Amino acid sequence: MARKLEPSQTERASARKEVILYTENFLNNIEKIKAFNYSHDKGQGLLKAPISERPISMKKAVQLIKNNVDYPAANPASGGYLGYIPGGGVYYSSLGDYLAAVTNRFAGIFYTSPGAVRMENMLIQWTAKILGYPSNCGGNISSGGSLANLIGICTARDTKEINSKNIDRSVIYLSPQAHHSIHKAIRMAGLGECIIRLVELDKGYRIDSGQLKKQILEDKRKKLKPFLVIASAGTTDVGAVDPLQEIGMLAKAYKLWYHVDAAYGGFFALTKKGKAKLKGIELSDSLSIDPHKGLFLPYGIGIVLVKDKKRMNATHYYQANYMQDSLSENDEASPCDVSPELTKHFRGLRMWLPLQLHGKKPFRACLEEKLLLANYFYREIKKLGFVTGPKPDLTVVTYRFVPKIGNADDFNKELLEAVKMDGRVFISSTILEGKFTLRFACLSFRSHLNNVDLLLKILKAEKQKIERRLKV
């Protein structure tokens, strides 16, 4: 029985056949599979097949996944997925994951897998170069932007020596539009007792650097200890890029640690327009960027860069007796020394493989296409009579319809529901200045003009239906 965990060559082939059958069918029909499915049982069928002593077949397992995991609710692999922050999930990453899982290299430490660690460090350096960071910076491939932000913020805490003696005088500057993972990271880093200043924004929902300066000076006068400022290179709500250069200069002048959350927008630096928008990002001390957004990789990969790798190491390094074999002076940095993780998924392979097999060009082309699509949507949705938020810095457009009579929030909630019911495209919403607002977020490599036109068509038709019913 103990040998059962090693399936034979024939058993492997038959299991693989079922998986391939399903995934090929999924990909071949991806344009027809809905972006959102209403489901009543929400995957409860899984509970009817509890883990037991008796094995089930791969065919049955795939069926369970299909019906209970892949069917209900959102389908982020669809080109019609235009909500939250999309990405899509490029195919070759799945083969990278497959290779990483079959060979199971230990990618946490250089000693155990120099190749795996070298590959991850090479990708970190490649990312650093795109963003204008020095090649000797520190970095880590994490599970996503949230962990990347946490690593950056913990490093800032230790570098600026925030401790029980000064914490209640220490000040952090944030945009009210900062992603919630930043607030979470601040709390988890033990910085919840710091003074948090939400800096005023300009009309485009970007940090007003004049206000930031004013606030820092005021805090200094009060003998407080300003130590950290966090900017966004693409906010989740509206896709706004803060004035990265101006904030960088203030951070330098007042000796603040400067962290940029570029989880969403960072990879636009691969494009000409994006690079111009992100100017000044290279002034930061640390930043986070998500390949599972801007490089369209499947979920589960973020990157944090820290300019001074010694600082990153000082925060995350630990040594134990049973780790003594892994010590060596001039090796590549080991991921376990710059992150909370020890044993980890060999994430580098899922990024390295698609970049190698496609080359950079199609990634850049896709990002350029999304920038154009966002501008297109911004123009077209206005023509349908919707009120829009700011002109998109990147690929998020906010919009709402204001009916002549009746409650506008209710109207837009109803419209969102109608789009979800239709299911061919998926959109999400937010609250801006107290108003219920719809969001268009375009970042899947599979989203093209046809998906955007379909969204416009559905919005127009559903809006008219609601208007007719309300007789407005």
Q: Are strands 170-174 and 257-262 parallel, antiparallel or unpaired?
A: unpaired
- In this complex, which beta carbon is closest to ligand PLP, that of residue 265 or of residue 354? 265
Q: How far is the CB of 347 from ligand PLP (least distance, A)?
A: 12
All residues at 6 or more sequence positions from 454 whose CB lies less than 8 Å from its CB, including other chains: 80, 424, 425
Size of the chain, expressed as the number of residues it contains: 472
Residue nearest ligand PLP by beta-carbon distance? 145
Q: How far is the CB of 428 from ligand PLP (least distance, A)?
A: 12
- In this complex, which beta carbon is closest to ligand PLP, that of residue 262 or of residue 459? 262
Q: How far is the CB of 448 from ligand PLP (least distance, A)?
A: 22
Q: How far is the CB of 373 from ligand PLP (least distance, A)?
A: 18
Q: How far is the CB of 88 from ligand PLP (least distance, A)?
A: 14
The Cβ of residue 92 has, within 10 Å, a number of other Cβ atoms equal to 17
- In this complex, which beta carbon is closest to ligand PLP, that of residue 178 or of residue 466? 178
Q: How far is the CB of 262 from ligand PLP (least distance, A)?
A: 8
- In this complex, which beta carbon is closest to ligand PLP, that of residue 280 or of residue 423? 280
Question: What residues pair up with 439 in beta bridges, in sequence order?
Answer: 398, 428
- In this complex, which beta carbon is closest to ligand PLP, that of residue 138 or of residue 144? 144
All residues at 6 or more sequence positions from 394 whose CB lies less than 8 Å from its CB, including other chains: 234, 239, 241, 264, 265, 268, 274, 277, 371, 374
- In this complex, which beta carbon is closest to ligand PLP, that of residue 108 or of residue 145? 145
Rounded CA separation 111/88 (Å) = 34
Q: Work out the angle at residue 229's Cα, subtended by the Cα atoms of residues 226 and 231, and round it to the nearest 5 degrees.
A: 165
- In this complex, which beta carbon is closest to ligand PLP, that of residue 181 or of residue 209? 181
Q: How far is the CB of 405 from ligand PLP (least distance, A)?
A: 36
Amino acid at 66: K
Rounded CA separation 326/304 (Å) = 23
Instruction: For residue 271, give Cα distances in angstroms to 366, 442, 452.
Output: 10, 16, 21
Question: What residues pair up with 198 in beta bridges, in sequence order?
Answer: 174
Using the 8-state DSSP alphabet, how is residue 231 labeled?
Answer: E
- In this complex, which beta carbon is closest to ligand PLP, that of residue 113 or of residue 127? 127
* Sign of torsion over alpha carbons 42, 179, 302, 130: positive
434, 423, 460, 396: which is closest to 84 by C-alpha? 396
Q: How far is the CB of 181 from ligand PLP (least distance, A)?
A: 4
- In this complex, which beta carbon is closest to ligand PLP, that of residue 212 or of residue 238? 238
Q: How far is the CB of 263 from ligand PLP (least distance, A)?
A: 4
The Cβ of residue 408 has, within 10 Å, a number of other Cβ atoms equal to 15
47, 33, 29: which is closest to 75 by C-alpha? 33
- In this complex, which beta carbon is closest to ligand PLP, that of residue 264 or of residue 401? 264
- In this complex, which beta carbon is closest to ligand PLP, that of residue 290 or of residue 337? 290
All residues at 6 or more sequence positions from 68 whose CB lies less than 8 Å from its CB, including other chains: 43, 44, 45, 46
Tokens 């990347």 belong to residue: 148
Q: How far is the CB of 145 from ligand PLP (least distance, A)?
A: 2
Q: How far is the CB of 230 from ligand PLP (least distance, A)?
A: 10
Q: Which residues lie near ligand PLP (CB under 6 A)?
A: 85, 144-146, 179, 181, 232, 234, 236, 261, 263-264, 290, 302
Q: Work out the angle at residue 183's Cα, subtended by the Cα atoms of residues 436 and 282, and round it to the nearest 5 degrees.
A: 100
99, 103, 146, 142: which is closest to 124 by C-alpha? 142
Q: Which two tokens stand for residue 192?
A: 């919840």
64, 90, 95: which is closest to 76 by C-alpha? 90
